[in-house]
Chains A and B, each alone.
Chain A
Amino acid sequence: MMDAGRHPNITLLTYSEVEEVSGYVGNFTVRIRKRARSVKEDLCTGCGTCEEKCPKKVTDEVFEVGLGKRKAIYRPFAQAIPNIPAIDRESCLFFTKGRCKLCEKVCPTGAIDYTQEDENLEVQVGNIILATGYDVFDARRISAYGYGRYPNVFTSLEVERMLSGAGPTSGRILLRDGEGEPKSVAIIHCVGSRDENYHPYCSKVCCMYSLKLAHLVHGKTGARVYQCYIDMRSGGKAYEEFYKRLQEEGVVFINGRPSEILAEDGKLAVYVEDRALGRQMRLLVDMVILSVGLEPRHDAHEVARMFGISTDADGWFKEKHPKLDPVATMTEGVFIAGCAQGPKDIPDSVAQGAAAAARVLTIIQQGEVEVEAATAVVDEMMCVGCGLCIQTCPYTAIEYLEERKVAHVVEVLCKGCGTCAGACPSKAIALRHFTDRQLISEMMGAIYAMRTELRNTQYATRGA
């Protein structure tokens, strides 16, 4: 991250949002709204004095998942790049009550600027890589597990924060009801994943992070740890060995998905059937960790539409080909990487990111792009300029030529789907290699063949 921040050819636009994308490969125009940080980026040295002195504390719902606090002027997390804080205007005392201005007083370089406004940028780029990541499944949706109702039911991310030495509990695993450390912990796999009611797919990373949490929680507290899993999916380099190691460490593996969690005898009772033993079990534990799955970003659909790519049935960005072209999309010049394309772990995300960068470099090096051969073409003599094709085109590849009053296909953008040709009422637009004439000839040939076949079989039956 640091390297990317320092690189002379890389401009980082954090705290910004893409609002509009137009153009095509080699020639994209992207409009970006750079939100006001209320801190001048060129003056800020990232010393952190403002953050230290700010009197307003807010619960950090993002990085600390509600367990810890941050200030009203803050960096999202300690290692954030660029190392420049932003003022959260909704909680800042100056913006809400009109007084304080302490950060301005303590800032040694005078970088605080309360009057800063959102900035609109327009950048010209040749290629785009989308690596927008994922959202975490909201465990509240499965009410049988009682997250949000029982204090000692945690999500994996919360435990992850607690395990961090710089986290809200300084690295200690503590129960939420103030009873200290747990003596027994149940980790439930596949929360929100592999479940027809929520997400049918496997989130891929949960098995391994659950094992990691089991290892760390067991190591830190000496607690007895149960793992309730459907299938242990420890595929990957050295992963199976880690699973073996956990078995030797004494973690109890229960092959079954818990049906519900109830508060009983002052503890949490996890009801689960162990498929290996064929027995109904009731685990009494102090703490339950829900290994929540991954889901597409809440705005993945809108983002996909903005960049002219599609999403699959689950909502992940769709790649050009699942095996042979997993980083490209159907839109030339737009690439995808990481969990935006589907659940994957860090090594896979890094590999895909590198692959996407390499694909972009290839295009830049070549200096020219190959376009689809089977594109649509307008017969200007026939076109009445009704604009129906413009509405139907999924790629906005058709434009209206005002001076000639006809439609025009931008060949670089056209992917050759032919939806326009199916829509044109005056048959003025044709898809090359799939023209009406060609399709009708093929059809007539087919029907003729079927007739002949039929006649032959009839003769054959008559002869018999």
Chain B
Amino acid sequence: MSLDATTLAVLRGGLDRVVEEMDITLRRAAFSPVVSEACDMANGIYEAASGEVVCQGPQGVPMFIGIMQAATQMVLERWAEKIQPGDVFIVNDPSTAGTHLQDFKLIAPYFCEAAAGGPRLAFLANTAHWIDVGGAVPGGFGVAAREIFQEGLRVPPVKLMARGKLNEPLIRTILANVRVPRWAYGDLMAQLASLDAGARRLTLLITHHGAERFLAAVTELKRRAEDLMRGCVEAIPDGVYRFHEHVDNDGVSNSPLRIEATLTVRGSDMAFDFSGSSEQSQGPMNLPASVTISCIHVAIKHVFHQVPMNAGSFVPVRVSLPEGSLVNPQRGCAVGGYAEVGMRVMDVVEGLLAQAAPRAVPAGSASTLNALLIGGYDPGRRRRYVCYFFAGGGGGGGPTSDGLTHMNPQIGAARSQPVEILEHLYPVLFEHSRLRCDSAGHGRFRGGFGAEYAIRLRAGQARATLMGDRGIHRPFGLWGGEPGRGTEVVFLRNGQEYRPPLVSKVQDVSLQGGDRILLRTPGGGGYGAPGDRPAAAIERDRQRGVITETWSGA
């Protein structure tokens, strides 16, 4: 059926509202501050027959967009005609649904007039990062894990709810395997509340406009996104571009992992070929193919923001990933460090597009979560805890402005958790949380500054893990700009300094009350030659105390 322009605009706005309401519900009802304060989550709508993404909520992590599509498609493939109204599927298995085990996805079919046997019209899905999934290390970021079995509990796509009835034994089994079951259960309930909210809202929209129009709009929105993307690609000169980047190491031994890609632009088509990338790693620095693809799309979207992100925008982009490489590894490998690899993939895509569309892309950003996990027993509050802290760093200098200081990493829109809330929940004390002087890469437009955090364990015994990167291979500068400073971490135990041999990765550092962790995050790369930076800009930075004489080379 054909749709008039007005109805299409209205339905598009309506769909955006459905996912936004799901975002709000999940965030507000969640228990772990990783979701409620940092928004490490996503909500979306997917097509009924193909599982392709229709739209995703604005508050979540963009990178999940392609991953929830893959998860929905996996449910479709495995369960096919056994998908019933009132079902909700749960999955965290990376080999089918992408990211690390902490990301639990819920997927629910949406039926029109389910009671009257109406057809399935869509899927609603969400993801929330759970604070813990068992495994060797509190919080699940084991940097030395060599197989997935060390990383925690793995759940294939199974029914959490069948025809509206919760699978209680399954829930009890999951909760028996995690360190903080109360939060896991609370987050699960929040995810269900979000699916309910989405279904209610979608029903209003479909009742109003009719199922046929709804389905026609979904198809039409995809077509238009594809057209828009093609328009953007056509504006780039045809050609072959190359770029590569490195992950510091694999968490087990200290040799770099290479991510290399070739971009071929021809007319309105783009082809990415990741030949030349390292073999899959023996440690957890691996990126399942569905996530690699998702990261590529998000990186493109950071450059072409005007293109709405749905399955249509994926069509002009072809991706080729060598099997057995770290961007398309075999099943069963450890994946806990996927986010770091994913961000490096995004850096490569940005580096490629920077050559193809020079004025549209900023220099390299901090591009690491630097996930710091502290887990132990809190004697004051008398409970076991897992504190997951992930950091911000500098954004890259851009074509018209300096980089943003203390920016969230580009895979997500995650926010920082307030120090006052972290101190309220865990036995930690922040001695400082401040701008890291001199960390920005010099350039006509300098990078943004990274951060320096000093965290003291107040009481009890704990184990700390850092899953970070960019300690050795720093955020790149563009067009003569200099790289930003890299990650540094120091543990001060009993007054003794400990710097991890792998620089940005370490697990199971034991701590006791009074010990401290100093984490310094990367600054962004500079854009353009440092000599072109106006003296007034340098003087202003000096006055504000964010650079010293050393930085400016004076």
Partners in one complex: no
